[in-house]
Amino acid sequence: MSSPWTKPDTSTRPIAVIGGGVMGRRISMMWISSGFTVLLCEKTSVTGNAVGYVQEHEAEQAAKQHTTPAELKATTSLEEAVSNAWMVIEAIPEKLDMKIDLMGEIDKLAPPDCVIASNSSSLRSSQMIVKTEKNYRICNGHYYMPPEQTYYEVMSCGHTDPNIFPFLMEKAAQAGFKPVHAKVESTGLIFNRIWAALKREVLLVMAQGVSDGHTIDDMFKSWFKAEKGPCLMMDTVGLDTVYNIETVYTEQRGLDTTVVDWLKENYVDKGNLGAKGGTGLLG
């Protein structure tokens, strides 16, 4: 089926990143460091930290890319952020109702050739198009933890113009990412399906009192010659995000709720979110 999508001009138009949390600020920094102007849309209370992160890291990343950093602009207006964007990156919390509402708003405000990509790691973009019409330009565009982990996964919403994928992958490679294509719709895309199973078992070991986070991380690092263990990685992302993602998997796959219940009671409800505040899996 033909699509009205045409390649947008990426030289004069910005990228809009919606959400300036742990992931939104890292994504923004990577694109800016490679010379792509970014409009970051977030509440004022979060914007300062996000802008500070970008300013702290952009020169180092640009040196790796042999590029000159572009400009970061911040706004609280979704319309201002997306009205002239060539790509909108949705990077809000992993809550489906919020994403459905936001995608509907972006679809109305963004130009017809603008690619709308969700950074969701567990929700399929096909679940987010309840209130959208121009679904030919909507997809998953999932980042991990740049600049340390730069894989970038793209996946169709079921209606995405197939020409969008080589276009996005080419642009992402220019920005220092390692793009890969999930060729069919999959909850969790590629690596996160594998990573989710590992995280779940780690959390179950802790929930059942078998061992603690430090022991698990030490053994993991020794066995796999890794620099970081799974508990440190979860603490870095934030245990609220881990909880939200695990809740999606639990509901969609009919899994046992022991892990999500334990996370909620012992960490999320108490504000113990790891690097975001309080204590984490490593104390």
User: Which CATH number goes with the domain that contains 233?
Assistant: 1.10.1040.10
Which string of DSSP letters, residue by residue, matches 196-243?
Answer: HHHHHHHHHHHHTTS--HHHHHHHHHHHHT-SS-HHHHHHHH-HHHHH
pLDDT at position 44 over 90: no
Q: And the tokens for 197?
A: 């199973």
pLDDT band, very low/low/confident/very high, at 262 (cuts 50, 70, 90): very high
Q: How far apart are CA 137 and CA 116, in angstroms?
A: 6
Percent of the chain at pLDDT > 90 equals 94
Average pLDDT for residues 53-70, to the nearest whole number?
A: 95
Q: How far apart are CA 133 and CA 23, in angstroms?
A: 27
Average pLDDT for residues 166-175, to the nearest whole number?
A: 98
| Residue at 4 is within a domain | no
- What CATH number is associated with residue 95? 3.40.50.720
Q: Are strands 149-156 and 138-145 parallel, antiparallel or unpaired?
A: antiparallel
| Residue at 104 is within a domain | yes
pLDDT at position 85 over 60: yes
pLDDT tens-digit readout, 227-248: 999 999 999 999 999 999 999 9
Could you tell me if 222 and 125 lie in one domain?
Answer: no
pLDDT at position 1 over 80: no
Q: At which residue do the structure tokens 């138009």 appear?
A: 13
Could you tell me if 156 and 242 lie in one domain?
Answer: no
Alpha-carbon dihedral 186, 190, 194, 197, rounded to 10 degrees: -30
Domain of 241 in residue numbering reads as 192-270
Q: How far apart are CA 73 and CA 184, in angstroms?
A: 35
Could you tell me if 89 and 225 lie in one domain?
Answer: no
Q: Are 123 and 99 in contact (CB under 8 A)?
A: yes
| Residue at 132 is within a domain | yes
pLDDT band, very low/low/confident/very high, at 43 (cuts 50, 70, 90): confident
For the chain, what is the mean pLDDT? 96
What Cα–Cα distance (Å) separates residue 229 from each residue in 96, 171, 224, 242, 249? 29, 31, 9, 15, 22
pLDDT at position 117 over 70: yes
From 182, 207, 229, the end of a domain falls on 182
Given phi > 0 = left and psi -120 to 50 = alpha, else beta, which region is 66?
A: left
pLDDT tens-digit readout, 175-221: 999 999 999 999 999 999 999 999 999 999 999 999 999 999 999 99
Percent of the chain at pLDDT > 70 equals 100
Amino acid 274: pLDDT = 97
